[in-house]
Amino acid sequence: MEKGIARYLFELGQLKRVKRSGWWVAGVDQPESVADHSFRCAAIAYVLAELEGANPERAATIALFHDTGETRVNDQHRVGKSYVEWSGAEEKVVEDQLGRLPAGLRKKLRELYSESVAKDSLEARIAKDADRLECLIQAREYEDRGHHATREWIENALGDIETESAKKIAAECSSANPVDWHLPD
């Protein structure tokens, strides 16, 4: 049992080395890792869930684990996905990953992943909005550093976000200066 858990935890560490590939299309040479993305995504999900009156722990947990399949298949940009049959690949990876965990833990993580994919709960929709909002924020940071092709990511995220709280925060983030967070209001 502990061996399977240890292997799973080591595998999750791979996400620190998997780069978010879409940013290369926008000219970003050293994009964030999937782990970088997942951390801020989980924090955003927690905040959004609080604002939306949902369960913040559940929303954050869904967001935290939403990209674990990328340890084995990497982060594939939509351009690459158009050339390869991608349907079900991450789900298969997640099922393989969870297979080495104790039954109770496996069941809980499988439920979280299924909920994330189905988006059949407010917490899952919030986690998806957090994913989009994190992408928007990262795009805005890259845009501020001179990568103007990331504006497409910002506009796409603005159009896809569903919850009211996320829409309002996204509108602010889409034009805010990403480096003035330390200044007094």
What CA–CA distance (Å, rounded) separates 128 from 117?
Answer: 9
- How confident is the model at residue 89, as a pLDDT? 83
- How confident is the model at residue 77, as a pLDDT? 72
- How confident is the model at residue 56, as a pLDDT? 98
SS3 assignment, position 115: helix
Q: Under 8 Å CB-to-CB from 14, ≥6 apart: which residues? A: 71
- How confident is the model at residue 85, as a pLDDT? 78
What CA–CA distance (Å, rounded) separates 94 from 83?
Answer: 22
What CA–CA distance (Å, rounded) separates 140 from 128?
Answer: 18
- How confident is the model at residue 167, as a pLDDT? 98
- How confident is the model at residue 75, as a pLDDT? 81
Structural domains in the chain? 2-173 (1.10.3210.10)
- How confident is the model at residue 126, as a pLDDT? 98
Angle between helices 56-65 and 34-52 (to 10 degrees): 160
- pLDDT tens across the length of the chain (185 residues): 899 999 999 999 999 999 999 999 899 999 999 999 999 999 999 999 999 999 999 999 999 999 999 999 888 777 777 787 778 888 899 999 999 999 999 999 999 999 999 999 999 999 999 999 999 999 999 999 999 999 999 999 999 999 999 999 999 999 999 999 999 98
